[in-house]
A and B are shown apart, each in its own frame.
Chain A
Amino acid sequence: MSAPDRAMGLVLGWARTYTRGIGEHARTRRLEELASDCFEQCRWGDEVGTSPAAVATSMVARTLAGMPADLLWRQGQLAASRDRSPNPRGRPMGRWIKDNWWVALAGLVGVMNVAMGISLPVEDGTTGALAGGIVIGVLGLTMLAGVWLRRTKRVRGDVMIAVGTLPLFPFFWTIVLPILGLLVLIPAILDAADARAAGPPGTSPALRPGGRSTATLLGLVVLATVAALVIGRADIAFTLVSPVLSALVAHLALRRARIATVARIGLTAFVASLAYGLLLAAVVVFGDEGVIALADGPGYLANTIMSAAGTGGVVVFVIATLATRGKARPA
C-alpha cells in the first residue's frame, strides 16, 4: 500500500468517525466527496510530479487542519436532525468545552476513586481499609456510571456524579482533593438544577422553583469548604462541610419528588442524615486519627444535630404523608 493510499485511509477513517450518528444522506455525501477529493489529489500529484510522500503529507495536513470545522459541521448536522434551531455554522467548540469540561473531570475523578478503592486494601490489609476501599470504589463507580447515564438521563447522572465526589471531602489536609471535589460538585449541581427546573428558558436556576434552596445550600458548601481549608483541622473541616453537603445532595435528589412540601422536607432531612452517616462511617473506617476524634470533639454537636434531623425527618414525613392521604380520601 502506497503512502497516499494510507493517507486516504486515514482521511476516510476520520470522516467515518465524525459522520457517525448523523443523517445517512449527509454522511454518504461527505464520505463520497472526500473519496473523490483524495483520488483527485493523488491524480493531480502524479500529473505535476509531486512525490507520493508529499501528496500523502498534504492529505493528512488537510485533514488535521480541518478537524475543528469537521466537528462543528457534525454539531450542525446533529442539531438539524434534532429539529433544533438551524445553525449552519454549528455550535462553537468553545461553548461545548465550556459546558462539558467538568464531565471529563468527573470521569477522571471517578477513575481515581476506583483506583483509590483498590489500592487502599492492597496497601493496608486491615478490615477497615477493605471496607473503606469498597465505599470509595463503589462511589467511584457511581460517578462513572453517572457520567455515562447523564447522556440519556441528565439529572440522575448529575446527582450520581455529585454523590461520587463525597469521598474527596474528608481529605481536607490534601487541599487538592476537596477543591477537585468542588470543581465537579458545583457544576454537577448547577447542571442538574438547570436540567430539572421547569422554568422558562433563560431563567436563572436560582430563580426557578426550588432554585433558591439549591443556591443557598451550594453557597454554604463552598463557604464551609473555604473555612475548613483556612482552619486546617480535619475534625472541624468534617463538622463544617459534611452536614451541608449531605443536605445539598438530599435536596437535589428529592427536589422534584411528587409529594407534599412538608413530607419532602422531612424526607430530605432523613436522607441528609443518612448521607452524613455514610460519610462519618467512611471517615471512621479509614481510621484517620485526626478525624476519628469527631465523636468527642466539635463533631459531637454535628452528630447530634444530624441524628435529630434524621429522626425528626422520618416523623415529619410519616405525619405529613398520613395527613395528605386523609385529605385525599372521599368523605
Chain B
Amino acid sequence: MPRRKPGALLPIEVDILEAGLSNRREGNDEFHGFEFARQIAGSSGGRKLTAHGTLYKALGRLEDAGLLASRWEEAELATQEGRPRRRLYTVTGEGARRLAAWRQRDGVVPSRSQPGLEGGT
C-alpha cells in the first residue's frame, strides 16, 4: 500500500471534515458517529451509509492526527434519554486549516454546499 503524501486527505476524511464544518456553520459544534454517516450519505446523491469499520477507523485516524477532537457525552444525559452515550466529535482548528489547504492545493471543490442535517438528532 503506497504511503500517503504529507498533508494529503482521503475522500472519507474530506467528507468527515466537511460534514463537521457544515454542522458548525449551523450551530452544532459536536456530532456523533452516526450523524457523520447520515450526513455523508445524504449529501452525496443517495450514497449508502458509510460502513462502520471505514467510518470509525477514519474518525480515529483524524483524531490521532489532531484534526478532530472527541469526548464522551455526560452519562446522565444519555440515561435520561434512554440511549447509549455518544462519542462527540468536533473539528479542530488544525482540521479546518488542513481541509482548506487541501482544497486550495488540489483545487478541490467542496463536495457539498452546506448540506445540513434534516431533522437532526
The answer on a CB contact under 8 Å between A65 and B119 is no
Contacts of A47 in B (CB 8 A): 119
Contacts of B53 in A (CB 8 A): 63, 65-70, 73
The answer on a CB contact under 8 Å between B50 and A62 is yes
Contacts of B64 in A (CB 8 A): 88
**B15 to chain A: closest CB distance in Å?**
15
Q: Mark A25-38, 1 if CB is under 8 A from B, else 0.
A: 00001101111110
Cα A11 to Cα B51 in complex, Å, equals: 11
**In the complex where A40-B32, A88-B64 touch, is A35 in contact with B57 (Cβ < 8 A)?**
no
The answer on a CB contact under 8 Å between B50 and A39 is no
Choose the segment among B18-26, B84-92, B98-106, B108-116 that binds chain A (4+ C-beta atoms closer than 8 Å). B84-92
**B47 to chain A: closest CB distance in Å?**
12
The answer on a CB contact under 8 Å between B55 and A41 is no
Contacts of A41 in B (CB 8 A): 34, 37, 49
Q: Does B66 contact A (CB under 8 A)?
A: no
The answer on a CB contact under 8 Å between A32 and B84 is yes
Chain A contacts with B in 272-298, Cβ cutoff 8 A: none
The answer on a CB contact under 8 Å between A44 and B121 is yes
Chain A contacts with B in 1-54, Cβ cutoff 8 A: 11, 15, 29-30, 32-37, 39-41, 43-44, 47-48
Q: Mark B22-57, 1 if CB is under 8 A from A, else 0.
A: 000000000011110110000000001111111111
Number of contacts between A and B (CB, 8 Å)? 91
Interface size on B, residues (CB 8 A): 29
**In the complex where A37-B34, A44-B34 touch, is A62 in contact with B52 (Cβ < 8 A)?**
yes
Contacts of B57 in A (CB 8 A): 66, 69-70, 72-73
Q: Does B83 contact A (CB under 8 A)?
A: yes
Contacts of B51 in A (CB 8 A): 61-66, 69
The answer on a CB contact under 8 Å between A34 and B52 is yes
**A46 to chain B: closest CB distance in Å?**
11
Cα A66 to Cα B53 in complex, Å, equals: 4
The answer on a CB contact under 8 Å between A40 and B52 is no
The answer on a CB contact under 8 Å between A58 and B56 is no
**B120 to chain A: closest CB distance in Å?**
10
Q: Mark A56-99, 1 if CB is under 8 A from B, else 0.
A: 00100111111111101100000000000000110010100000
From A15, A36, A88, A94, B86 is in contact (CB under 8 Å) with A36
Cα A186 to Cα B53 in complex, Å, equals: 36
Contacts of A15 in B (CB 8 A): 52
Cα A93 to Cα B3 in complex, Å, equals: 15
**In the complex where A30-B56, A69-B54 touch, is A39 in contact with B84 (Cβ < 8 A)?**
yes
Nearest first, the 7 A-B pairs at minimum CB distance are A66-B53, A66-B51, A69-B53, A65-B51, A40-B34, A70-B53, A36-B84
Q: List 5 A-B contacts (CB under 8 A).
A: A39-B83, A40-B34, A70-B53, A73-B60, A94-B1
Given pairs A32-B87, A48-B119, 11 additional interface contacts (CB within 8 A): A32-B85, A39-B83, A40-B86, A41-B34, A62-B48, A66-B53, A66-B54, A69-B53, A70-B53, A73-B53, A89-B61
